[in-house]
Amino acid sequence: MTNRQTDAGGRSSPNTSPLRFLTGITTTGAPHLGNFVGSIRPSVAASQLAGVQGFYFLADYDALIKCDEPARIQRSTLEIAASWLAAGLEPDRVTVYRQSDIPEIPELTWLLTCIAGKGLLNRAHAYKAAVDKNLAAGNDPDVDVSAGLFMYPVLMAADILMFKAHQVPVGRDQIQHIEMARDMAQRFNHLYGEHFVLPEAVTEESVALLPGLDGRKMSKSYDNTIALFAPREQLRKLIAGIVTDSRAPGEAKEVEGSALFQIYQAFASAPETAALRQAYADGIAWSDAKQLLFERIERDVAPMRERYHALINDPASIEALLQAGAEKARAVATPFLRELRQAVGLRNLDSLSAAAPKSKAARTAAPAFKQYREKDGKFYFKLVDANARVLLQSQGFESPREAALTIARLQKEGSTALATLRGEVAAANGIAAGELDAALQFFAPVAI
């Protein structure tokens, strides 16, 4: 994995909880080589790291936004699940589930819908592109734009926030959605207390860069894909169809801009890539280069293809696996949604019995941590009292996770943590140590 835009800063902290990593694939088709290189392969590799908790889901609610073929959605769910497993995902190590098995996700989508700014959603790329296309064609801006497409960033935020994911690996076209999810989390936390973890996008430079048959980005929408598990002979034929220039055998060839070279590089080791680079310079024939590419891909894909076909032919066992995954996922989602319902006021009336404290008063008397991001791109927090007076201010952290871990320490250890966190947090101007100590004690775990 190269050129990470962000990293898992803060993981060396002593009281770390595992880093949570979440990824979803929309169930609208069969995976192609671009999906494998950009998403499946790196996310399966991540699942094998120690200290990482992975959530892998089949985004079938998302699929409804762009696909009205029920059989295709069902088939794609099977194909993507089988692809993950064939590529080495171990369901015992991670949580693999189907989005639509988690009814808490659409419920959370509604809670977030009520705090998401419409103006924010107006700026979402996918929605804006649809509107711009209509305008360019001289049409009404809303032609063929569903409310689902408009709300897509909210559903995606619910996917992510439901599982308190720290990191979400995405292609660059999806970074905006993660920013929007963070925005919604921040707003919710501001209104109702710190419930959500602020997620961050992780992008790999190589993601989304795999070219397709015609040299443009490999994408279903360009119809230039190579199916990941195409049968061997079909794979050979597809590779033979990759665009090249007209240079004859013996003529030196450019690696720059060569789709064939770039696809090879996505599978090959550094020495293998160097060897092909040399072969280009030495004037390798395109047909020979294509044969090398075919063999290189086949080497990685053939064993997976065999597992894939065995899995595809046993949908019942995949279904059982997804059911077990849903149970694991709901063990997280159900209690968390209960907490969120309580936070926003969807409450049982029993708590209004005379003995119970008035919840509004209890909430407003409490100090609170507020997390935010500044223009410098860093993540900050402050501790404010009931009157929004700042008691404590943090430095900028590289990741929201580092900020969250520091908050967790302050909540757990109170003012004794201040000495070791000097340089990371400081009392605000004019705030006495005693006052800060009293505020932090509010968060101290209650012994029972």
Q: How many Å apart are CA 227 and CA 225, to the nearest integer?
A: 6
Encoded tokens for 107 = 């419920």
Q: Which residues contact 255 (CB under 8 A, 6 or more apart)?
A: 261, 276, 277, 280
Residue 104 or residue 159: which is nearer to ligand TRP going by CB? 159
Q: Which is nearer to ligand TRP, 104 or 385 (CB)?
A: 104
**CB of residue 22 vs ligand TRP: minimum separation in angstroms?**
6
Question: 124 vs 230, which CB is nearer to ligand TRP?
Answer: 124
Identify the helix (H) or strand (E) that includes residue 394.
strand 390-394
Query: Closer to ligand TRP at the Cβ: 167 or 186?
Result: 167
In contact, 106 and 96? CB cutoff 8 Å: no
Say if CB 425 and CB 392 are below 8 A apart: yes
Distance CA 155, CA 161 (A): 10
Smallest distance from the beta carbon of 25 to ligand TRP, in angstroms?
5
CB 25 within 8 A of CB 170: no
Amino acid identity at 217: K
Judged by beta carbon, residue 156 or residue 266, the one nearer ligand TRP is 156
Classify burial at 235, counting beta carbons within 10 Å of its beta carbon; exposed 0-12, middle 13-18, buried 19 or more: buried
d(CA 303, CA 321): 22
CB of 339 to ligand TRP, least distance (A): 21
Shortest distance (Å) from residue 52 CB to ligand TRP: 16
Positions in the binding site for ligand TRP (CB under 6 A): 22-26, 59, 62, 156, 159-160, 168, 170
227, 32 Cβ separation under 8 angstroms: yes
Q: Give me the least distance between CB of 23 and ligand TRP, in Å please.
A: 5
Residue 421's closest CA among 381, 371, 390? 381
As measured in angstroms, the least distance from the Cβ of 251 to ligand TRP is: 40
β-strand partners of 95: 55
The distance of closest approach from Cβ of residue 28 to ligand TRP in the complex, given in angstroms and rounded to an integer, is 8
Task: Give the residue with the Cβ less far from ligand TRP, 181 or 440.
Answer: 181
Nearer to ligand TRP among residue 159 and residue 402 (C-beta): 159
Q: Based on CB atoms, which residue is closest to ligand TRP, 58 or 260?
A: 58
Backbone angles phi, psi at 90, to 5 degrees: -105, 110
Compute the least distance from the CB of residue 170 to ligand TRP, in Å: 6
